[in-house]
Structure 1
């Protein structure tokens, strides 16, 4: 399993638009992709799951990938979130 801990820097937090981009990126991989915040973990391939976390700005979240393409999955998701200026 690969995981990264990131800080959400978007002033609005992880809101719908970048969450949708992240969910679309996660959905392309066979690996199980999850995001955890405040003790709750959800499937990052589910927009409803990600939005249900209500992640505000300056929050630390953990993204984890487990499966055959976990290495490229974690790198891609990190790149997508950085490109959307959601994480530092």
Structure 2
């Protein structure tokens, strides 16, 4: 299992545009990835609706987890995305 905890860099957190970009990228990964805030339940990273229910704001720590083939690469790619300000992406 691959796991990484990162801080959400987007100014608006994982809401609206950043959630859409992140969910699309998660859906393109070879492994199924979950994301969770501390004390919360893990949700499917590729579901924009589930991402919005996390309530992850700017600076919040979230944990990404994946199992199976491509797990390490999937977690690394999505962690890198969360560490960028997706609000500023064109």
Q: Smaller-chain TM-score range?
A: 0.7 to 0.9
Kindly report which structure 2 residues correspond to 1:20-59, keeping only aligned pairs within 5 A, or say none: 20-37=20-37, 38-59=39-60
Match of 1:5?
Answer: 5
**Conservation of the 8 A alpha-carbon contact between 2:29 and 2:74:** yes
Output one character per residue of 1:21-70: Cα deviation in whole Å (capped at 9) or x when no partner: 11111111231200011322100011111111111222111011111111
Give the length in aligned residue pairs.
86
Q: TM-score, normalised by structure 1?
A: 0.82
Kindly report which structure 2 residues correspond to 1:68-87, keeping only aligned pairs within 5 A, or say none: 68-84=69-85
What CA RMSD, in Å, does the superposition of the two structures yield over aligned residues?
1.8
Separation in 1, partners of 2:63, 2:5: 4
Q: TM-score, normalised by structure 2?
A: 0.81
